[in-house]
A and B are shown apart, each in its own frame.
Chain A
């Protein structure tokens, strides 16, 4: 039986109405109970502000809890009749024919070996399905570091040669990075979008299973009103303690939340930018992001593009689904708390900007709410911080011996703790009831201990996030940027000094706040102590959780184990094989500067120059400058060239041909000294 879009809309309305009631009723009761616990009975202006903050936070906690509970029930029941992976499956049982699909991977200054090992695993998995002919792979590079892009070109050629992927796997690099990632995708669509019906967007750290990709295309073909299907990517391959804890938490809790979200989002959801399939034609017609009017932080280029694109797709009448039950969708997690916060900094700025989009004309009500929800994922921290500060002030100014409804205060505390921890407990129960499932998380004992330890670590890190998110919001609203280094993807050991530099302020806030709370009331100090503890311990927390040794030790003791580690999926096994293959090749080649390789090594030079277009004309000043750069490289060595000069030469076909021939014509001493390539002259 087919479910029409109209029927779907009616079901969605009913479900959302139910959710609204389930959230608002307990929220009002909670606010009333909270008012009763306050020393002035909710009459003091400070208390009114507190009640507003509490009400907002409580609403979002209830949304989270009901989403988790619904997801839990769906998981327990085991069959959700209204999910996109099976929606409108024909009764004849024959597989739905596929349509032409582009698999696009936008990248920017990533490690080429890792990126191409992931792509290789995805490609080979798709090949296994026998449906490769319907797919074309596009690596869309925005890399501007000369060494990175030479690496990418060579890695592309190497992969194509290995898997016979010429004319199936394509590579292009943009010279001008207009509108960053979303601009990169739109540029692809302008040039090649008309060739394909769908595109599956991968991130640089994505690996996807071929069977899932085939299922996604089939689901799109069966449901012509669907514009986007987002899979649920789970983290894999992490080593540091921090990332392993997040990986474990995501693997255990996310499927339940995603099932709950899919229940009330239905076809009006959001997507998260990658491991997703998109119908190209409506995306091209409706989702090219304009520059927002006004000044920053709300004006300018849209930073977090995915939520806005989903909203625009929905506005155009196309559905946006989350498919929580399709396996074979992986990503990687930032290795440390600092890296996670760096990512949050970008996302926070992007989500706040959605305040401007939220009021756009014609957006469906659900999409407006989801944009607010995205904003709340960061402003929630600021609201919590404000709530705690106001509570501290209230504790300070409360008259001695003020009456507090202790019984209700304790009840409220239990409710709040339930809201915070029940989703974790439900996920744990869901895994424990099935022996096989609990074994895939390291066994019942390991799983239970892992949940306990994860809860402790997340409780400690939550106040740190609260302070940082609050800072990000304030700085964004003041239109100021926070300087962080580039995001790390692999393991990177954070020194004590770096940890102290990043978290000294947080520690100081914890100490000062602790003293104030103690003088206000020792009971209040005890109530606040979990928050204070997280802040005071932020330096060792950030440093120790960034260690790979601790992460591996935990894995050895069956803590934070995920199903992918117990039974390695074929795609991830292939990914590891690819990594090893490339690492061995690199070791055999030895240390070499990619620029030198592109100039000297005959094959590398040929491959690199094959990407360049011959120039028709060149201003005399440019010609002279490039001739001077070549002379400098030849006589003083390539190390004397700046990164910009290298980039300019690498972009010039004649210069690269000329340098190749001239370097090979250098006297032996200069050839070896300045242009060493192991296996050739070193």
Chain B
């Protein structure tokens, strides 16, 4: 049980709820489903009541978003933070999808791929797969002797 007084604890949880709401709003989560998400997140966060409410709530936000990646794509991210970031990019990319703007799609049914598009962003998206090649430095050596004759193009055979 938390050691703080019930009234002050409630105020802290109210603050946490507002912060989660702000976070989801910043992610452009539609109001229709935002409240339900906030309630779910806060409920889970309260289960970790040994932490300050704000910290517990924000950690749960990341876990919640990360779970979406697992749920929709079957991928288990290395950390909740990585999964959360991947999901945020997915949502952001999907928001420009011309076929279905994400506002028209219920949050829960977002998929990581849609009509061949991958809604993820990784180093591979920022740059294509590396295909390494060796690029050796060119030789720029001062002409050793007979410079003038070379300059005048008199010994082309030699330079070739």
Q: Mark B104-130, 1 if CB is under 8 A from A, else 0.
A: 000000000000010001110111101
Q: Which of B15, B85, B117, B125 contacts A657 (CB 8 A)?
A: B85
Q: How far is the CA of A136 from the CA of B58 in the complex (A)?
A: 39
Interface flag for A619 (CB, 8 Å)? no
B96 in contact with A161 (CB, 8 Å): yes
Neighbouring B residues of A660 by C-beta, 8 Å: 81
Q: How far is the CA of A372 from the CA of B27 in the complex (A)?
A: 59
Quick check: which of A118-126, A280-288, A572-580 contacts chain B, the rest being far away? A280-288
Q: For the complex formed, measure the closest distance between the CB of A369 and the CB atoms of chain B, giving whole angstroms.
A: 9
Neighbouring B residues of A194 by C-beta, 8 Å: 131, 133
Neighbouring B residues of A186 by C-beta, 8 Å: 135
A664 in contact with B23 (CB, 8 Å): yes
Interface flag for A607 (CB, 8 Å)? yes
B133 in contact with A360 (CB, 8 Å): no
B92 in contact with A606 (CB, 8 Å): yes
B89 in contact with A606 (CB, 8 Å): yes
A166 in contact with B125 (CB, 8 Å): yes
Please give me the residue from chain B that is nearest to A190 by CB atom.
Answer: B135
B138 in contact with A287 (CB, 8 Å): yes
- Given A657-B82, A668-B15, A290–B89 Cβ distance below 8 Å? no
Q: For the complex formed, measure the closest distance between the CB of A318 and the CB atoms of chain B, giving whole angstroms.
A: 13
- Given A161-B92, A194-B131, A359–B85 Cβ distance below 8 Å? no
Interface flag for A605 (CB, 8 Å)? yes
Neighbouring B residues of A618 by C-beta, 8 Å: none
Interface flag for A601 (CB, 8 Å)? yes
- Given A290-B140, A601-B26, A661-B59, A192–B122 Cβ distance below 8 Å? no
Interface flag for A341 (CB, 8 Å)? no
Q: Which of B22, B81, B84, B151 contacts A681 (CB 8 A)?
A: B22
Name the prevailing secondary structure of the A interface residues: helix
B131 in contact with A611 (CB, 8 Å): no
Interface flag for B8 (CB, 8 Å)? no
Neighbouring A residues of B92 by C-beta, 8 Å: 157, 161, 603, 606-607
Please give me the residue from chain B that is nearest to A614 by CB atom.
Answer: B78
Please give me the residue from chain B that is nearest to A311 by CB atom.
Answer: B140
Q: How far is the CA of A9 from the CA of B144 in the complex (A)?
A: 27
Please give me the residue from chain A that is nearest to B144 by CB atom.
Answer: A361
A607 in contact with B89 (CB, 8 Å): yes
Interface flag for A362 (CB, 8 Å)? yes
Q: How far is the CA of A117 from the CA of B123 in the complex (A)?
A: 23
Q: Mark A350-373, 1 if CB is under 8 A from B, else 0.
A: 000000110111101100100000
Neighbouring A residues of B128 by C-beta, 8 Å: 136, 167, 170, 192, 195
Q: For the complex formed, measure the closest distance between the CB of A652 and the CB atoms of chain B, giving whole angstroms.
A: 12
Q: Mark A589-613, 1 if CB is under 8 A from B, else 0.
A: 0000000000001110111011101
Question: What count of chain A residues pass the 8 Å CB interface test?
Answer: 65
Neighbouring B residues of A136 by C-beta, 8 Å: 128
Q: Mark B83-97, 1 if CB is under 8 A from A, else 0.
A: 011101101110110
- Given A192-B131, A365-B153, A665-B54, A162–B96 Cβ distance below 8 Å? yes
- Given A289-B137, A605-B85, A157–B23 Cβ distance below 8 Å? no
A167 in contact with B125 (CB, 8 Å): yes
Point out which of B127, B151, B152, B153 has the most chain A C-beta atoms below 10 A from its C-beta: B127
Q: Mark A281-312, 1 if CB is under 8 A from B, else 0.
A: 00011111111100000000000000010001
Q: Which of A170, A195, A356, A603 contacts B126 (CB 8 A)?
A: A170
Q: How far is the CA of A658 from the CA of B19 in the complex (A)?
A: 17
Please give me the residue from chain A that is nearest to B160 by CB atom.
Answer: A362
- Given A190-B132, A292-B140, A359-B143, A602–B88 Cβ distance below 8 Å? yes
Query: In A621-680, which residues have CB < 8 Å from any B CB?
Result: 654, 657-658, 660-662, 664-668, 679-680
Interface flag for B52 (CB, 8 Å)? yes
Please give me the residue from chain A that is nearest to B57 by CB atom.
Answer: A665
Q: How far is the CA of A613 from the CA of B95 in the complex (A)?
A: 25
Neighbouring A residues of B78 by C-beta, 8 Å: 614
A661 in contact with B62 (CB, 8 Å): yes
A190 in contact with B133 (CB, 8 Å): yes
Q: For the complex formed, measure the closest distance between the CB of B121 and the CB atoms of chain A, giving whole angstroms.
A: 4
A286 in contact with B138 (CB, 8 Å): yes
Neighbouring B residues of A518 by C-beta, 8 Å: none
A603 in contact with B88 (CB, 8 Å): yes
Q: Which of A171, A657, A680 contacts B79 (CB 8 A)?
A: A657
Q: For the complex formed, measure the closest distance between the CB of B8 and the CB atoms of chain A, giving whole angstroms.
A: 13
Interface flag for A39 (CB, 8 Å)? no
Interface flag for A494 (CB, 8 Å)? no
| Residue contacts A-B, CB under 8 angstroms, 28 given | A166-B125, A171-B127, A172-B127, A189-B133, A191-B127, A191-B133, A288-B135, A288-B136, A289-B138, A290-B140, A308-B140, A312-B140, A361-B144, A362-B159, A364-B153, A603-B88, A603-B91, A605-B85, A606-B84, A607-B92, A610-B121, A610-B122, A658-B81, A661-B59, A662-B55, A664-B61, A665-B57, A667-B54
Q: Give residues in B with beta carbon < 8 Å to A.
A: 15, 19, 22-23, 26-27, 52, 54-55, 57-59, 61-62, 78-79, 81-82, 84-86, 88-89, 91-93, 95-96, 98, 117, 121-123, 125-128, 130-144, 147, 150-153, 159
Listed from nearest, the 7 A-B pairs whose CB atoms lie closest are A657-B81, A606-B88, A290-B137, A161-B96, A606-B85, A610-B121, A665-B55
Q: A138-B127, A665-B54 are in contact. List 6 more A-B contacts (CB 8 A).
A: A164-B96, A359-B143, A606-B86, A610-B123, A661-B81, A667-B54
Q: Give residues in A with beta carbon < 8 Å to B.
A: 136, 138, 156-157, 161-162, 164, 166-167, 170-172, 186, 189-195, 284-292, 308, 312, 356-357, 359-362, 364-365, 368, 601-603, 605-607, 609-611, 613-614, 654, 657-658, 660-662, 664-668, 679-681
